Amino acid sequence: MDVAARIIELRTQRGLTTNKLANLAGISQSHLRDIELGLRNPTVETLSYFCDALGVSLAEFFNEPTQEISPFLISAVKKLSREQQDRLADFLNSI
């Protein structure tokens, strides 16, 4: 996985500048810039600071996104009963 590209992807999705993410993570802007440019690799600790600032877990960070699913849709599906979820899955599989 390209850690630098993933940081940039998540940062830009959230509308954060390098400076803002660095401030939120408690890391210097130059350190973050070096990581994003691939000049340095973050430690697990530093990466966890970025994840906290970006609002993702380390597992989510390393989870390769296949398609962006609307948070509204995820929330709505979680409110369905198990039977309703099964029916929705059957419907989606039929199209």
Mean predicted lDDT score pLDDT of the chain: 91
Q: What is the CATH number of the domain that holds 17?
A: 1.10.260.40
Q: What is the value of pTM for the model shown?
A: 0.66
Query: Does 55 share its domain with 74?
Result: no
Query: Does 44 share its domain with 10?
Result: yes
Residue keyed to tokens 């929705």:
88
Q: Which domain holds residue 95?
A: 67-95
Q: pLDDT tens, 43-88?
A: 999 999 999 999 999 998 998 656 677 888 888 999 999 999 989 9
Give the integer Cα–Cα distance in Å for 8 and 17.
9
Q: Say how many domains are in the chain.
A: 2
Query: Does 46 share its domain with 71?
Result: no
Query: Does 55 share its domain with 86?
Result: no
Query: Does 87 share its domain with 58?
Result: no
What pLDDT, on a 0 to 100 scale, did the predictor assign at position 92?
85
